[in-house]
Amino acid sequence: MNKVVVTGIGLVSTLGKSLEESWKNLLEGKTGIRLHQPFPEQELVPLGLIGQQPSELSELTQMVLTDLLYDAELELPLTDCAVVIGSSRSYQGSWEKMSQKMSQKMSSLSPAQAQPYLDHSLEPSLEPWLETLPHMGAIAVARQMGVCGPVLAPMAACATGIWALSQAALMIQTGQCQQAIAGAIEAPITPLTLSGFRKMGALAKTGAYPFDIYREGLVLGEGAALFVLESADSAKKRQTKIYGEILGFGLTADAYHSNQPEPTGKSAILAIKQCLKRSDLNLKDIDYIHAHGTATRLNDYIESIIIQDLFNSRFNSRFNSSTAVSSTKGSTGHTLGASAALGVAFTLMALREEILPPCVGLHQPEFDLDFVLTAREIRTQKALCFSFGFGGTNAVIALSAAGNQSSRRVRQLF
């Protein structure tokens, strides 16, 4: 099968509006999480906003695509290319606004005046509504880039980003296309999303503290990461830079609960083992794990037990040293469907720069793992990214450093 390499990355997050800016602030241990009250009917909460107000999905799509095109130096239009871009919430924010507008209009009318509603005269016009269907973010990117290949829009909760990259990599591996634009985009700061997570008791009150003994819960954040994937032959022919290689992936489901992970972690462990087998790797080959690390009580506990059982030298005498671990959600917030895509981007930068990103927000670890507390220089060759989403969607991807690394173009940061 074809080797799959990453030749372009675009990223926007609460840490910065480009990959360079976000990576620089992450290594410095900064967080973009602040207390906000975007909706007056709801209380003040910590959030990872990119601007002063919640972003629109279409806005984030344009921002991350601009960063990707700047970096990848692709010649448009792209013919032998696929688009695989997912989102767990998609245009939910737009739908909430439509619903609120219609509800406000109805509440101001008498029963007689409200009759036209029953005749559908107050429904949103067809064209704007069609542009907000769940798959239209991926379609919008395909239209802008002139892509005529397959377009997919996976939705797999927090695991969406790795699912998207896995689907794109598989198409390249099997020769269905030579290039793919893949990743995930999320604008989840909406009244309904906040209310739902608050009702579950999953939201933090002051900040995100992954794996910390005093962790409170997750902090919602906005973000997006898109990648150019292509076959090694295509990248060589274009003489372009390579960030790293996608070695393999594992995808499983818990079949257990709507919002709690399976207590033994057996399906998550299966995803890890699938990924390693498909990547022709052993546990001892892994230098670094970008953990899911949501800072919720249950997720961090089960994920830590899994890592301890499989990787940590104190629990496994086969290894001479333990595997380094960090989560970046203490910096970016939990960007739901985009979180795994951001994690892959940061992990590729760690492989390229040989610097591991810190687990920002972690001060007193509850678990006996080799957590990266400050940016750490290390010769890193192989890494895994974990993503374990609500509903029991588990995704793991294996990455390796590029054999011939060349610099991403550097632009001035403001």
All structural domains of the chain, each given as residue ranges with its CATH number in brackets, are 4-98+128-401 (3.40.47.10)
The number of angstroms, rounded, from the C-alpha of 358 to the middle of its chain's C-alpha atoms is: 17
Residues 384, 63, 79, CA angle at the centre, nearest 5°?
Answer: 75
Token pair listed for 118: 């029953």
Token pair listed for 408: 């991403």
Half-sphere exposure of 141 (CA within 13 A, CB side): 34
Q: What is the pTM of this model?
A: 0.91
Residues 366, 372, 377, CA angle at the centre, nearest 5°?
Answer: 165
Element (H, E) at 361: none
Token pair listed for 153: 């829009």
Digit-by-digit pLDDT tens for the chain (414 residues) are: 899 999 999 999 999 999 999 999 999 999 999 999 999 999 999 999 999 999 999 999 999 999 999 999 888 898 889 999 999 999 898 888 888 777 776 676 667 666 665 555 555 565 677 888 889 999 999 999 999 899 999 999 999 999 999 999 999 999 999 999 999 999 999 999 999 999 999 999 999 999 999 999 999 999 999 999 999 999 999 999 999 999 999 999 999 888 788 999 999 999 999 999 999 999 999 999 999 999 999 999 999 999 999 987 544 444 445 899 999 999 999 999 999 999 999 999 999 999 999 999 999 999 999 999 999 998 889 999 999 988 889 999 999 998 744 444 333 332
Question: How far separated are the first and last CA of the chain, in Å rounded?
Answer: 43
Alpha carbon distances (Å) from 241 to 50, 121, 172, 229: 29, 54, 18, 12
